[in-house]
Amino acid sequence: MTTTMPTQARAAVFFDGDCAFCRRSIALLQRLDWCRRLVYVNSRDPSNPLLAAPVMAQAPLLEEMHVLTPDGTRLYHGFGALRWLAWRLPPLWLIAPFLYIPGIPALGQRLYLWVARRRFRIVPCHGGVCTIQRKETSRTRP
């Protein structure tokens, strides 16, 4: 008997739940999601079964927002995720076509990454709650 991951009816938006800026962004997405097409997943919650999906294996979930499509086969990140969301959120339908103008995707991704890297300064965190855990290097200091 084989076990397959059940397909979800809605797309999943993965975000850093320890990041104040990310939580505010998700609150805005929830207000724009009039049709309730999205579910919101804290990437730091290891108990969520969506995080075990094979497509999620190497995704840098704490560095960028990610969107897993309802069929569970495509994973978008950063500006690409925002473009995908723009078609599904009625208040953004008018701007969605402009996100495909030549040059906009590259500029949008650069701007997205610039904001993502500075998100802890944009919305400050208190008590060190909003820090990204860096991977330890194997170097030893003299």
pLDDT tens digits, 34-57: 999 999 999 999 898 888 888 888
pLDDT in tens, 51-69: 888 888 888 998 999 999 9
**Looking at the DSSP assignment, which residues form a beta bridge with residue 15?**
42
Give the integer Cα–Cα distance in Å for 93 and 71: 22
Rounded distance between C-alpha atoms, residue 125 and residue 114, angstroms: 18
Model confidence pLDDT, tens digit, residues 120-140: 777 666 555 555 444 444 444
Distance of alpha carbon 119 from alpha carbon 81, whole angstroms: 17
What pLDDT sits at residue 130? 52
d(CA 141, CA 119): 30
Q: How confident is the model at residue 72 (pLDDT cuts 50, 70, 90)?
A: confident
What is residue 126's predicted lDDT score, i.e. its pLDDT?
A: 59
